[in-house]
Amino acid sequence: MIPVQGVENQTIAVLGLGRSGRATAAALAEGGAHVVVWDDGADTRAQAQADGMTVLDLTRDASWEGVSALITSPGIPHLYPKPHPVIAKAYELGVPVDNDIGLFFRSFATRDWDQFDTTPRVIAITGSNGKSTTTALIHHILRESGRPTQIGGNIGTGVLSLDPAHDGEVVVLELSSYQTDLARALTPDIAVFTNLSPDHLDRHGGPGGYFAAKRRLFAEGGPDRAVIGVDEAEGRYLADQLSMGPADDRVIRISSGQKLERFGWSVFARKGFLSEYRKGRQVASIDLREVTGLPGEHNHQNAAAAYAATRSLGLAPREIERAFHSFQGLPHRSQTVAEIDGVRWVNDSKATNVDAAAKALTAFQRIRWIAGGMGKDGGIEALAPHLGQVVKAYLIGHSARDFALQIGQTPYEISETMEQAVARAAAEAQPGETVLLAPAAASFDQYPNFEKRGEHFTLLVKALTP
Where is the binding site, in residues?
127-133
Per the CB < 8 A criterion, the answer to whether 406 and 380 are in contact is yes
Q: What share of the chain is helix, strand, coil (3-state, %, to 5)?
A: 35, 25, 40
Q: How far apart are CA 205 and CA 57, in angstroms?
A: 29
Task: List, as one string, the DSSP characters of 377-400.
Answer: TTTTGGGGGG-TTEEEEEEESTTH
Q: Does residue 269 sit in helix, strand or coil?
A: strand
Q: Which residues are annotated as a binding site for ATP?
A: 127-133
Element (H, E) at 94: none
φ and ψ of 68, to 5 deg: -100, -15
Q: Contact, 288 vs 300, CB < 8 A? A: yes
153 phi-psi bin (left φ>0, alpha ψ -120 to 50, beta other):
left
* CB < 8 Å & 24+ apart, contacts of 280-289: 283/317, 284/317, 286/317, 286/320, 286/321, 286/324, 288/324
Q: What angle do CA 49, 50, 54 make, to 5 degrees?
A: 25
**In 51-119, where does DSSP find H-type helix?**
85-93, 100-107
